Amino acid sequence: MLKGIPKILSPELLKVLCEMGHSDRLVIADGNFPAETMGKEAIVIRMDGHGTCEILEAILQLFPLDTYVEHPVNLMQVMPGDPVETPIWDSYKEIVKKADERGESAVGQIERFAFYEQAKTAYAIIATGESALYANIMLQKGVV
């Protein structure tokens, strides 16, 4: 056991977070995201029993966000004409505000298919059981 480490972070995930270097990206994917397909070249970590918010909050306690890019946190943009509401994005912004002095200005959006392309080059993808739609979030690691 270790002190100060959120219990939701498994040894496997802690190892991956530690291995990641500056500019590496991590995707926290909702339950509908094709994690295994997108993650053929990445490490896929299954966390099916957990939601994205609790995972994001735990990770950001340890994970520095990149200060050399405008948006080290990116959300998958809603497709034009899709009548989906995204209240989970407000939760993400609140979590990011606690972890980064830039607050919600650190959060951007990436068009859906561009998000998929970037996810294919991510260092790791966390597959969650999140049921909210468009709840995918990508983090870019900074330096300590």
Q: How many residues does the chain have?
A: 144
Active-site position among 66, 100, 123, 134: 66
CA–CA gap between residue 22 and residue 144 (Å, rounded): 9
With residue 8 as reference, give the H or E element that holds it. none
- Based on the residue annotation, tell me whether 71 is a catalytic residue of this protein: no
Task: Give the confidence band of 143 by pLDDT, cuts at 50, 70, 90.
Answer: very high
Tell me how far CA of residue 118 lies from CA of 31, 54, 61, 104, in angstroms: 18, 23, 24, 21
- 42, 55, 50, 52: which is closest to 16 by C-alpha? 42
Q: Tens digit of pLDDT for each residue in 86-141?
A: 999 999 999 999 999 999 999 999 999 999 999 999 999 999 999 999 999 999 99
pLDDT at 84 over 80: yes
| Long-range pairs for 95-98: beta carbons < 8 A, 24 or more residues apart | 95/53, 95/56, 95/57, 95/60, 96/60, 96/65, 98/57, 98/60
Q: Residue 1: pLDDT above 80? A: no
Question: What is the reported pLDDT for 36?
Answer: 96
Q: Active-site residue 66, yes or no? A: yes
pLDDT for 126: 98
Among 22, 68, 82, 90, which one carries the catalytic annotation?
22
The model's pLDDT over 42-68, given as tens digits with 9 standing for 90+, comes to 999 999 999 999 999 999 999 999 999
Q: Answer yes or no: 116 catalytic.
A: yes
Catalytic one of 68, 100, 116, 123: 116
Rounded to the nearest 5 degrees, what angle is found at the Cα of 85, between the Cα atoms of 8 and 102?
Answer: 60
The tens digit of pLDDT for each residue in 68-82 reads 999 999 999 999 999
